């Protein structure tokens, strides 16, 4: 039987990681993998996470299963962080295996509710969005998003394309810090998107993977909260990998906002059912770390302060890189880097130029020219800037 399996295409980012590891050149720079790194090149364990783990180790008395939907403390704390004020009779929630698990379960839920669903997804988007939908056999349509000339959002194209979504279709939106481009909607534009969805009856699925990495914890949730308050049905997939730095703990959550309590109960039961069919009970350790932090004033304050340091570091690197490129190019054509938010920016380079950066300067980034700002430090920024100019970007 197993000999009948077909080879699967390697994930482009994971393949890039292996190529980087095999490169023996000194001074090589990894801007491909999507994890935060401090100036020393380390993805640190946050102070509050260490303190929470210590507390859990000292006080936890059992490793028995949690509920199918996850622990209530975690789900409630995350609802408060992401949504702040949502009537309980509207909100169903589900602990998941990372943000990726939340996306998968959201799409499974949408298909249960509407077997003929079509998903509208930005062009470009996080590659695993497309991979998951293709594997599930879900029809999807790409809507215009990135303006290659300005490196900003093609908002007119976006509006025209998502207006084609029908009632019960899904429109997948990045809540903040768009991956892979770093180009984001303004609040005025978000309000226009909400008006289009109100008119069509399409359901937003908001992927909120980077809350706190863009303009701040509250600011990064503002668009999601507005959509949740304005539309009767909303799906939200959130991740704790980045903002809590617990990548390997696989800690995510899916929220489903319904129009009334009866629909909320149906959604909650269906979400628990989907967990049972997939992996039964969700992982608890990361979720318990998060709930311990968010429900303790001192731990939450320390976590928020360190998260703000992380955000400030990335903003500083963006400003430095834009300044270096301004000086080297004699123009402001790279100023978009400073305007983007989150870990990523898409340079707008050709695959050949990206390959040149790798072969001539040992600088690794994804083939579509997405670079991870958090992979830089103040010493490597000038190296990257010079290599970008030398590659003719």
Would you name the residues annotated as active-site residues? Answer: 126, 207, 209, 242
Sign of CA dihedral 304, 309, 312, 318: negative
Three-state secondary structure call for residue 342: coil
The DSSP bridge partners found for residue 255 are 93, 236
Q: What does the CA dihedral 49, 50, 55, 60 come to, rounded to 10 degrees? A: 80
Please name the residue that has the structure tokens 């706190």. Answer: 212
- E strands of the chain, at which residues? 29-30, 91-97, 119-123, 140-144, 146-147, 152-153, 170-174, 203-208, 234-239, 251-257, 344-346, 363-364, 370-372
| Rounded Cα gap, residues 139 and 168, in angstroms | 13
Residue 70 and residue 287: Cα distance in Å, rounded? 8
* Distance from the first to the final alpha carbon of the chain: 49
């Amino acid at each position: 039987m197993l000999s009948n399996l077909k080879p699967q295409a390697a994930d482009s980012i994971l393949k890039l990681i292996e190529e980087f590891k095999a490169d023996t050149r000194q001074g090589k720079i990894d801007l491909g993998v999507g994890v935060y790194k401090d100036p020393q090149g380390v993805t640190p364990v946050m102070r509050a996470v260490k303190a929470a783990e210590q507390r859990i180790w000292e006080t936890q008395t059992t490793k028995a299963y949690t509920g199918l939907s996850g622990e209530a403390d975690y789900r409630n704390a995350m609802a408060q962080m992401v949504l702040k004020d949502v009537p309980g009779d509207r909100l169903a929630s589900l602990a998941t295996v990372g943000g990726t698990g939340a996306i998968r379960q959201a799409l499974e839920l949408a298909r249960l509710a509407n077997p003929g669903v079509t998903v509208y997804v930005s062009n470009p988007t996080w590659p695993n969005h497309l991979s998951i939908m293709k594997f599930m056999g879900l029809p999807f349509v790409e809507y215009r998003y990135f303006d290659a000339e300005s490196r900003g959002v093609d908002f007119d194209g976006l509006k025209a394309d998502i207006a084609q979504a029908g009632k019960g279709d899904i429109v997948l939106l990045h809540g903040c810090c768009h991956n892979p481009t770093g180009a984001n909607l303004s609040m005025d534009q978000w309000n226009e998107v909400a008006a289009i969805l109100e008119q069509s009856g399409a359901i937003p699925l908001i992927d909120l993977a980077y809350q706190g990495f863009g303009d701040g914890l509250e600011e990064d949730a503002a668009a999601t909260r507005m959509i949740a308050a304005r539309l009767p049905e909303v799906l939200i997939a959130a991740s704790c990998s980045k903002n809590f730095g617990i990548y390997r703990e696989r800690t995510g959550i899916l929220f489903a906002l319904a129009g009334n309590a009866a629909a909320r109960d149906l959604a909650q039961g269906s979400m628990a059912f989907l967990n049972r069919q997939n992996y039964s009970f969700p992982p608890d350790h990361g979720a318990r770390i998060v709930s311990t932090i968010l429900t303790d004033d001192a731990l939450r304050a320390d976590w928020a302060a360190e998260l703000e340091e992380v955000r400030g570091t990335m903003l500083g690197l963006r400003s430095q890189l834009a300044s270096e490129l301004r000086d080297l190019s004699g123009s402001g054509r790279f100023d978009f880097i400073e305007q983007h938010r989150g870990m990523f920016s898409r340079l707008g380079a050709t695959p050949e130029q990206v390959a040149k950066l790798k072969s001539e300067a040992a600088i690794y980034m994804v083939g579509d020219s997405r670079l991870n700002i958090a992979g830089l430090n103040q010493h490597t920024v000038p190296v990257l800037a010079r290599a970008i100019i030398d590659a003719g970007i």
